[in-house]
Amino acid sequence: MSTLQRYKCLVIDDERHAIELLTDYIEAVPQLYLAKSYLDPVAALMESDSGERYDFIFLDVDMPRLSGIELARVLRPLTSFLVFTTAHPRYAVDAFDIRADHFLLKPIGMNKFALIVNELLKSREAASQRGGSPDSTFFIRSDQKNKLIRICFDEIIAVEGLKNYVQIYTPTQKHIAYLTMKETEDALRETTRFLRVHRSFIIAKNQITAVHGRTIRLKGGLEVPVGELYKKSFDTYIADNSLFSQR
């Protein structure tokens, strides 16, 4: 008889009744269990250094001292599914900008909670059967107010860091996202498709068409330098994926 797989949850909310409600909901779903909860977002931030991972993080947005949006930038790499919980719909754009998997508007009903959990778990199962990541896309906030743009991992050629934002190259256009290179690298690390080769460049491995010395040529004609700090890891990748005659 197969054992039911259970998924580890973390809840962060500055209102005790909100934590109690989500705790009840989590206990009502057989696949879930609550590992930890925090009333203080700063305490959650301090303990994030342990690197402990969760399957689900349910995170309030409007909290004192540290907002959920700020905290999510640290916690995003530690979870498969990040779900914002808030009474304020105006935070939806910020939530998707940080690649939240869902956005639950308070007051949260049990039916809505269960539907979203089921939807996310089904996406993970489908991705596992395909051998891919749970979500092959993410949203970025465009330079137009309240407009979000969906980016597919498969379409990314490279990401270039430009001071306070990054530029994402795709076959058809370039997109500006107000993210740091570290935030972008952490997000892309969930898949093995990308490689950082320079302080200012992350590239898609399958977009490499040629390597000439310390210069990488990508599809579409983009040329990217290999930085000294990243040369060893890039050389290792090339060596591991090269075929040479032994004669």
CA distance 220 to 247: 35
pLDDT (tens digit per residue) in 62-118: 899 999 989 998 898 888 899 999 887 666 566 656 667 788 888 999 999 999 898
CA distance 135 to 101: 9
The whole-number pLDDT of residue 97 equals: 61
Mean pLDDT of 189-218: 90
Question: Beta partners for 104?
Answer: 85
186-to-155, 173, 180, 183, 195 alpha-carbon distances in Å: 18, 23, 10, 5, 11
The answer to whether 207 and 157 are in contact (CB under 8 A) is yes
The answer to whether 76 and 95 are in contact (CB under 8 A) is no
Whose CA is closest to 105, among 119, 92, 120, 121?
Answer: 92
Amino acid residing at 136? S
The whole-number pLDDT of residue 202 equals: 96
The whole-number pLDDT of residue 92 equals: 58
Percent share of the chain, pLDDT over 70: 84
pLDDT score of 57 more than 90 = yes
* Lowest mean per-residue pLDDT among 58-62, 74-78, 241-245: 241-245
The whole-number pLDDT of residue 134 equals: 47
User: How many Cα atoms occupy the beta-carbon half-sphere of 225 within 13 Å?
Assistant: 6
pLDDT (tens digit per residue) in 105-144: 889 999 999 998 988 888 766 555 544 444 567 777 766 6
The answer to whether 169 and 202 are in contact (CB under 8 A) is no
Whose CA is closest to 185, among 193, 196, 199?
Answer: 196
Question: Beta partners for 208?
Answer: 218
User: How many Cα atoms occupy the beta-carbon half-sphere of 105 within 13 Å?
Assistant: 5
Whole-prediction pTM: 0.55
Question: Beta partners for 41?
Answer: none
pLDDT (tens digit per residue) in 30-39: 999 999 999 9
The whole-number pLDDT of residue 215 equals: 95
In this prediction, residue 222 has a pLDDT band, given cuts at 50, 70 and 90, of very high
In this prediction, residue 199 has a pLDDT band, given cuts at 50, 70 and 90, of very high
Q: How far is CA 175 from the centre of its chain?
A: 18
pLDDT score of 3 more than 70 = no
